[in-house]
Amino acid sequence: MPDPEEDIHANFRAEVACYTAADPMPTMENLSRLTGVPLDQLIRYVLVKYAASPADALLSLDPIVFRQLRDHIAKAEAEGTDAARLRAYEALKQIIAWLGISAATSPESPHHEPAPSSHE
């Protein structure tokens, strides 16, 4: 298993493991029944809404992201070395870059460029 310090996707995999522990299907089936929206359309709606709305997704992640930022800083300060502070800086830089990439890919972003059409 990769070293968590070097594995930039470790937090994502941990989140996936946490959120996939519960079965969402009973909730989705009940919502489908209550609204009359077919289950497959409802599932697609949830996935597309989350994936196509990075700003909304980022807002829901804020507590997690801020905790991660805080943890990197606290660890570096506890160690008290320049090397630890440089590692924390690099980790913070990567998190901020990831947030920027996510926001820039949002259709609402002024920097968003649509994907090229495969029909051209």
Among 16-20, 68-72, 105-109, the least confident range: 105-109
- In 1-116, the DSSP E strands lie at none
CA atoms within 13 A on the CB side of 30: 4
Better pLDDT: 65 or 17: 17
- What's the rounded mean pLDDT across residues 84-96? 91
- 10-54: pLDDT as tens digits: 888 888 888 888 898 999 999 999 999 999 999 999 888 877 766
Does residue 119 have a pLDDT over 50? no
For helices 10-19 and 54-79, give the axis angle rounded to 10 degrees: 120
Task: List the chain domain ranges.
Answer: 23-52, 54-107
Helix (H) or strand (E) holding 105: none
Hey, what are 13's tokens?
Answer: 């995999």
Q: Read off the DSSP letter of residue 38.
A: -
Contact 29, 39 (CB under 8 A): yes
